[in-house]
Structure 1
Amino acid sequence: MSKYSEQAKELLDKVGGSENISVVTHCATRMRFVLNDTSKADEKAIEDIDIVKGTFTSAGQFQVIIGNEVASFYNEFTKISGADDSSKDEAKEAAKQNMSLIQRLVSHLAEIFTPIIPALVVGGLILGFRNVIGAINLVNDGTQTLAETYQFWSGLYDFLWLIGEAIFHFLPVAITWAIARKMGTTQVLGIVLGITLVSPQLLNAYSVAGAEEIPFWDFGFTQIDMIGYQAQVIPAILAGFVLSYLEIGLRKVIPSVVSMIFVPFFALIPAVLAAHVILGPIGWEIGSWISDIVYSGLTSAFGWLFAAVFGFAYAPLVVTGLHHMTNAIDLQLMSDFGGTNLWPMIALSNIAQGSAVVAMIYLNRKDKQEQQVSVPAAISCYLGVTEPAMYGINLKYLFPFIAGIIGSSIAAVISVGSGVMANSIGVGGLPGVLSIQVADILAFCVAMIVAIVVPILLTIILAKTKMGKDAYQRLGK
């Protein structure tokens, strides 16, 4: 018998039995249920199961936080429950029956970026490591970088850009592939479409202003500029959806016996043409407009206010799932301004929520059962995974969550007020410092200290107020 058998049986009973499960799957830390009747799930009883770190409902799914053991627990649960071992895509489709229009739009955006987040995180770490060896004067009394002093580090610095370029400059390839994957269309066509947006034969869009002559395709009656869309998000999203909808529409009208020949042909060529004639230029303008507004807002005289609001609201956005929208904005800022001033605030929000959990570890230091949840939750939060901390501890008590968002807001004001910029999206939490541009590392560290100290102190103070006492009484502590 597996060590998870009893807990799996208990969870099955508390979610309403096998007959109440439409779909069940898992992600990195959570079990994801689409339930036929959500009212049958006993959340309080589920949270009392030893292995469970917390529960919440998001995007039409009832989610149970397990932690790093989720894959092994999930295998045992499906064996006992007999529930369908459906794919994540099937789970999401089943969940959409419980979602509003806005939730569906956010879900679509999340499904585009979620598959490519691991690459973006790796890219952020690589750019951060290149910072350390090629941009910080660490040797010869602080006058030279490692890359300037040693051939090995110089070679490594140049080599790592091979990966960084593949991730960020060729980002449209990943986006168009992710859209094809999400839409259930031919993924290799999405890859081909993405390559046509970043092909080496195209003039990099960022070089247009300084180019003496722009190459073009000459069709006799018209000409099309050969301009690429390296690192661009909106053009890739528009082109990817056009390709997918063309393929879906063509499959409905072209006989299946010849569809393998004609569907890719009549879907890909018009999509590529539309991407370079219409969608690319329009998407470029839209992306520039969005990034200009965000960047101008954060660098204006009222940037502190924008930062305060964003720092306060980011964690609640995570609860709703709306935080996925920031990925597209971050990437657009990176392509237009060579960095993002939004990402540092996200990393600080993670740190603030983790710090609130640290305070709860201190306050509940005699509660050994809760320590099993709070200690791993704080560690994962400091490393950028916030769900166990937020749902397992902070939202359950509420007052540490409030302390966290207040601390995040203050830290965000310091970050934006100091002009902190990140080279890229990276690992959230404490490792986020690796993504920060060298000139801004000290200011970001100050903001990090605030994101650690303020939530800890506020959580301890709020625990002694009526809000804290009511929370303890409500939870029977």
Structure 2
Amino acid sequence: MSKYTEPAKELLEHVGGSDNISVVTHCATRMRFVLKDPKKADVKKVEEIGLVKGTFTQAGQFQVIIGNEVSTFYNEFTKIAGVGDTSKDEAKEAAKTNMNFLQRMISHLADIFTPLIPALVVGGLILGFRNVIGEIRLMNDGTQTLVEVSQFWAGAHAFLWLIGEAIFHFLPVGITWAISRKMGTTQILGIVLGITLVSPQLLNAYGVAGSDTIPVWDFGFAQVEMIGYQAQVIPAILAGFVLAYLELGLRRIIPNVISMIFVPFFALIPAVLIAHVVLGPIGWTIGSWISNIVYAGLTSAFGWLFAAVFGFAYAPLVITGLHHMTNAIDLQLMSEFNGTNLWPMIALSNIAQGSAVVAMIILNRKDEKEQQVSVPAAISCYLGVTEPAMFGINLKYVFPFFAAMIGSSIAAVISVGSGVMANSIGVGGLPGILSIQAQFWGIFTISMLVAIIVPIVLTMVFAKTKMGINAYKRLGKI
């Protein structure tokens, strides 16, 4: 019998037994359950298990924080429970049975953009570095850039654009691939569709406004403009889903013996035609409306109000999963305005949540069990992963979560009021400054300090108020 046997038996009992488990998997620190009847889980008793450091429910999954021992504990638990191993993707699909329509839609959006985030982060860092060496006059008493005085840096500046262009200009390829991957259709067809949206044969999307004539495909009875959709998000999403649903529909009606030939043919050609004739122009228009409205809101006389509301409300959006929508808006802003003023506020919100946890680490420094949750949670939050901090600590007490929301709101007002722009989506915590356009590093540093100091101070103040005292009483701390 291992040290995990008894805790595993207790956890199995308190989640409703094996019959109540649809799917179970784990990540770096948490067990992830999809329960047939979530109401059968006794959350209070689960949290009383010695090995458990907290629980929360998100995206249809009941998640139990175990810590770094989770993989060993998981093996013991599955052996006792008699439940089979499964992948995270299968767990996500099973979890959708516990979601409403809006939650499922947001989950689908997250599934599209999550695989793209590593590339987008790298791209943001590359654009930031190119901005430093190519735009900021650091040499010869502030009169020249590094690129202007050094052939090496000039070559590096040009070379790095090879990667930056591949990530951002050819983003539709990644989006259509991600959709085909998510929908379980032929991924190479998704890639081909994406390439047709950014082909060199087409007039580059960035050159449309300044072009006197737009080339066309002339079919005799109709002409179709040969416009590319470089960096465009919504046209790629619409086209990707059309291709996926065409393929899925054709699979159902075309016999298997000839499906390899006819399904790709009759799915890809209509999808490409529809993308360029209908969906591309519509998607471009919708994307431009969204980005223009958001940008206008953030740069108007009431931009500070928009920033205050967004900074305050972003953390609650994370709880609901609605925050995944901001990825599409960020990318659209980047394509329209060569940067995004929305993403810096997201990085500041993450920092604020981590800072509230730091305050709780100080306040509860004698609680060794909680330190095992709060210290790793604060670190991960400062590196851009907020869920352990929010669900493991801040939401449990409530007042630190509220303190972080206030700090995030104030920092967002400073950021937006100063016109801070990010090159791209980046690491959503302290390293996020590397994705900020270099001319805004100074003011963004001030915003980050506000996102650190204000939540720490407010959390400590709130802990002494009725709100804090009631939270400690509710949790049996006093």
> 1:47 aligns to what?
47
> 2:347 aligns to what?
347
Residue aligned with 1:249, SS: helix
Name which of structure 1's ranges 85-94 and 265-274 shifts more when overlaid on structure 2. 85-94
1:157 and 1:82, CA in 2 relative to 1: closer, same or farther beyond 3 A?
farther
Q: Distance in 2 between matches of 1:192 and 1:3?
A: 52
> 1:393 aligns to what?
393
For 1:457-472, list aligned pairs within 5 A: 457-472=457-472
Does structure 2 conserve the Cα–Cα contact (< 8 Å) formed by 1:347 and 1:428?
A: yes
Residue aligned with 2:425, SS: coil
Q: Distance in 2 between matches of 1:2 and 1:126?
A: 48
TM-score (norm 1): 0.95
For 1:2-13, list aligned pairs within 5 A: 7-13=7-13
Displacement of 1:79 after TM fit? Answer: 4.2
Answering whether residue 474 of structure 2 is matched by residue 474 of structure 1, we say yes
Displacement of 1:373 after TM fit? Answer: 1.3
> 2:358 aligns to what?
358
Structure 1 gaps of 5+ residues are none
Q: Which amino acid aligns with 1:346?
A: I
Q: Cα deviations across residues 424-446 of structure 1 (Å, max 9, x unaligned)?
A: 10000111111111222211111
Q: Cα deviations across residues 59-116 of structure 1 (Å, max 9, x unaligned)?
A: 2211223456555554454344332222333222322222111111111111111222
> 1:112 aligns to what?
112
Does structure 2 conserve the Cα–Cα contact (< 8 Å) formed by 1:31 and 1:63?
A: yes
Q: Distance in 1 between matches of 2:48 and 2:118?
A: 32
Displacement of 1:4 after TM fit? Answer: 5.4
For 1:158-177, list aligned pairs within 5 A: 158-177=158-177
Q: Which amino acid aligns with 2:440?
A: D
Q: Which amino acid aligns with 2:397?
A: Y
1:296 and 1:397, CA in 2 relative to 1: closer, same or farther beyond 3 A?
same
Q: Distance in 2 between matches of 1:338 and 1:158?
A: 18
Q: Which amino acid aligns with 2:339?
A: G
Residue aligned with 1:433, SS: helix
> 1:190 aligns to what?
190
Aligned residues between the structures: 477
The 4+ residue runs of structure 1 with deviation greater than 6 A are none
> 1:264 aligns to what?
264
Q: Which amino acid aligns with 2:373?
A: V
Name which of structure 1's ranges 10-19 and 392-401 shifts more when overlaid on structure 2. 10-19
Name which of structure 1's ranges 171-180 and 66-75 shifts more when overlaid on structure 2. 66-75
Does structure 2 conserve the Cα–Cα contact (< 8 Å) formed by 1:56 and 1:62?
A: yes
Does structure 2 conserve the Cα–Cα contact (< 8 Å) formed by 1:399 and 1:467?
A: yes
Does structure 2 conserve the Cα–Cα contact (< 8 Å) formed by 1:54 and 1:388?
A: no
Q: Distance in 2 between matches of 1:375 and 1:143?
A: 46
Does structure 2 conserve the Cα–Cα contact (< 8 Å) formed by 1:35 and 1:62?
A: yes
Does structure 2 conserve the Cα–Cα contact (< 8 Å) formed by 1:125 and 1:427?
A: no
> 2:332 aligns to what?
332
Displacement of 1:354 after TM fit? Answer: 0.6
Displacement of 1:457 after TM fit? Answer: 0.6
> 1:179 aligns to what?
179
Residue aligned with 2:366, SS: coil
Structure 2 gaps of 5+ residues are none
Displacement of 1:186 after TM fit? Answer: 1.2
Residue aligned with 2:349, SS: helix
Q: Distance in 2 between matches of 1:40 and 1:160?
A: 54
> 2:223 aligns to what?
223
TM-score (norm 2): 0.94
Does structure 2 conserve the Cα–Cα contact (< 8 Å) formed by 1:420 and 1:440?
A: yes
Does structure 2 conserve the Cα–Cα contact (< 8 Å) formed by 1:7 and 1:51?
A: yes
Q: Distance in 2 between matches of 1:52 and 1:28?
A: 14
> 1:451 aligns to what?
451
For 1:404-419, list aligned pairs within 5 A: 404-419=404-419
Residue aligned with 1:130, SS: helix
> 1:247 aligns to what?
247
Residue aligned with 2:385, SS: coil
Q: Cα deviations across residues 186-216 of structure 1 (Å, max 9, x unaligned)?
A: 1111111111111122111120121243222
Does structure 2 conserve the Cα–Cα contact (< 8 Å) formed by 1:53 and 1:388?
A: no
Residue aligned with 2:32, SS: strand
Q: Distance in 2 between matches of 1:296 and 1:368?
A: 49
1:148 and 1:72, CA in 2 relative to 1: closer, same or farther beyond 3 A?
farther
Q: Which amino acid aligns with 1:370?
A: E
Answering whether residue 9 of structure 2 is matched by residue 14 of structure 1, we say no
Q: Distance in 2 between matches of 1:461 and 1:124?
A: 37
Q: Which amino acid aligns with 2:235?
A: P
The sequence identity of aligned pairs, in percent, is 81
Residue aligned with 1:63, SS: strand
Residue aligned with 1:410, SS: helix
